[in-house]
Amino acid sequence: MTEQPSAPQTADDPSFIMESSSGEKALYYYKIYFRKEGQRFTANAHLADLVPGDRVMVRMEHGVEPATIADRSPGVPEGDRAAGFHIQRRVSEEEDEKYTLLTQLEHEAFLLCQDRIRALHLPMHLVRVERFFNGSKIIFYFTAESRVDFRELVKMLVHEFRTRIEMRQIGVRHETQMIGGIGHCGRELCCSLFLTSFDSVSIKMAKTQDLPLNPAKISGVCNRLLCCLTYEYENYKTMKKGMPRVGRQIEFEGTVYQVTRLIPLLGQVAAISSQGEERVFTEDQWRSADPVLKAVTRKTAGKRSRKMKNDTGKDQEADEEG
């Protein structure tokens, strides 16, 4: 197994040239996909002349799998879980023919499994079928609202295919990742294109970026919060740090203004005076303005008592601060 370099290397990288000149085989990086509608992954190879469309054999944990070259890659993206994929060689003519039939075999397995699900009246929705190239296992991905007893289904599938069967329940986000689609931005879904894991997304991220809290606008095809809300969240947090919050009052040139909106990308603050004058402050202006502290009022209404039942059913007096 070729040791993965600690940092991505390219032909322009000095360390890359030194390794090549020292007699060791240089590593080249490519974007590959195992299925035409599947994700693109990064893989390394000692082959320098691979071009888009070439079919190659990639070493996996369970053996080798055929894949197609999508494009060259400058290196391994940070967090790419497929960074350890290694292209061993080009496919043989026999392997190429078998690879071409693989999609058809998966489709046939999908239809058969779907038919068995209907026959057994199982509350599950089949999403995708993946078959190992060597035929040692077939994975059936499905969604369901709760746990499903699919033991009888597995028996039927094992009897039909005579190989190892795995039923894998997935969530709606993974379902969308497998099916694919077009997002609000008009581009292919991030999850089906390059995301290899799902980060936690919260409504706070939308608020921080001043996005409209309309579910239709901040939810994706999967009806969950958009994954892209995480992309610029940290940047907005950093930009807003130190800026006066909406609703706070500031005094500038003898006039008191109430902050109505933040414009973090420009470093500006929009505010309105008590006379109704709207003004946009630059960063230098709002930083030089004095914050107006709210008057502290002390409640002196005293204490009041009310009746309440305790655990034993007896009445007791409970004093509360007014």
The dihedrals phi and psi of 294, each to the nearest 5 degrees, come to: -70, 145
Partners of residue 152 on adjacent β-strands: none
Assess whether 215 and 246 both reside in one domain: no
Partners of residue 44 on adjacent β-strands: 29, 86
Q: What is the pLDDT of residues 214-231, one digit of tens each?
A: 988 999 999 899 999 999
Among 210, 236, 262, residue at a domain's last position: 236
Q: 0.75 exceeded by the pTM?
A: no
199/24: higher pLDDT? 199
Q: Is residue 322 situated within a structural domain?
A: no
Among 112, 138, 170, residue at a domain's last position: 170
DSSP codes joined into one string, 120-186: HT-S-EEEEEEE-TTSSEEEEEEE-SS----HHHHHHHHHHH-SEEEEEE--HHHHHHHH--B-TTS
Q: Is residue 297 situated within a structural domain?
A: no
Assess whether 254 and 221 both reside in one domain: no
Question: What local confidence, expressed as pLDDT, does residue 254 receive?
Answer: 86
Say if residues 249 and 290 touch (Cβ distance below 8 Å). no
Return the CA Rg of the chain. 30
Among 56, 91, 126, residue at a domain's last position: 91
Range picked from 17-21, 23-27, 294-298 for highest mean pLDDT: 23-27
Assess whether 166 and 103 both reside in one domain: yes
Q: What's the mean pLDDT in 221-249?
A: 91
Q: Is the pLDDT of residue 307 over 70?
A: no
Number of structural domains the chain divides into? 4
Assess whether 117 and 143 both reside in one domain: yes
Q: Is residue 104 situated within a structural domain?
A: yes
Say if residues 67 and 33 touch (Cβ distance below 8 Å). yes
Which of 167, 227, 223 has the alpha carbon at shortest distance from 192? 227
Domain housing 276: 242-291
Q: What is the pLDDT of residues 105-127, one digit of tens each?
A: 999 999 999 999 999 999 999 99
Q: What is the pLDDT of residues 143-179, one digit of tens each?
A: 999 999 999 999 999 999 999 999 999 999 988 888 8
DSSP codes joined into one string, 286-321: HHHSEEPPPPP------EEEEEEE-TTS-EEEEEEE
